[in-house]
Amino acid sequence: MKKIGFIDYFLDEWHAEKYPAMIEAATNGQMQVTYAYGKIDKPGGLSNNEWCAKKGIELLSSIEEVVEKSDYLIVLSPDHPEFHEELSELPLRSGKPTYIDKTFAPDRKTAQLLFGWASEHGTPMYSSSALRFAAEYEAVSREGIDTIFSFGPGKFENYSIHQIEPIVALMGSDVTRIMYTGTARFPSLLIGFADGRQATVNHFGNPTSFGTTINYASGEAKSLKIESDFFGSFIRNLVRFFETGEGGVDPAQTVAIITIIEYGLKAALSPHQWIEMPRS
């Protein structure tokens, strides 16, 4: 059995709650989350000790211990990416396959730093929104896409990645400019690519499902409602990554996604104006 270690800001959160059983089921018990570390106890929630006792996972007192004892590593903190640099440094220097949960980094500079650490130390690493692996996106042709209209729930800060990740997966990472077109309550972002193609990200109220309309240069359009088990597909991809060291996500795309989110927040301060994206 291969042992997986969790490293989190606090452990009482949705991803940490769900991943252990999903990974165990996907591997018939050949991979299990056995160790965990949390930087703080969740305010108003379970302490890390209480969470581990409930899950039957051994709580360790340091990131160093988790890295040493585990075969594979998962850095969580999905809604607090500002801690990913601190939580990921030792894993990325370890050489052990490491998955870093969404949102990968708070900004472009940190994203490049994390990939630099992984490259320097030969550590297999990737990050992704689970939405990248939705069967609906996998089934559509990427050739000839001209525009994408995407919509979904949640706040821009921590949920825009679930729309931007599939857009970049389908259209590529050569984004040159963005424009904020939404309101304070309902964010919307226009993404411009170097060749003139465009995509829009739209956040609506709850309950809203994820959906996309893809327009092709041929005049054909495809409307997708995301109903597949994308988390199951993601977990299978994660297992393959641990087995092979290959994550299947181009680092350039991950950096582009983080840059779009970072500059999207900046663009919200100057709505309806194009903001140029960094190119190096």
- 120-124-125-129 Cα dihedral, nearest 10 degrees: 150
Q: What is the CA radius of gyration of the chain?
A: 19
pLDDT in tens, 108-165: 999 999 999 999 999 999 999 999 999 999 999 999 999 999 999 999 999 999 999 9
Are 115 and 167 in contact by the 8 Å Cβ rule? The answer is: no
What is the tens place of the pLDDT at every residue in 190-217? 999 999 999 999 999 989 999 999 999 9
Q: pTM for this structure?
A: 0.97
Classify domain 131-229+261-276 at the CATH topology level.
Dihydrodipicolinate Reductase; domain 2 (3.30.360)
Question: What mean pLDDT comes out for the span 8-23?
Answer: 98
Q: What percent of the chain has pLDDT over 90?
A: 98
- pLDDT value of residue 135: 98
Strand 58-59 vs strand 31-38: parallel, antiparallel, or unpaired? parallel
Task: In whole angstroms, give the CA distance from residue 189 to residue 102.
Answer: 19
Q: What distance in Å separates the CA atoms of residue 242 and residue 125, rounded to the nearest whole number?
A: 9
What average pLDDT is seen over the chain? Answer: 97
| Spans of all domains in the chain | 2-127, 131-229+261-276
Q: What is the CATH number of domain 2-127?
A: 3.40.50.720
Residue 262's region, left for phi above 0, alpha for psi from -120 to 50, else beta, is alpha
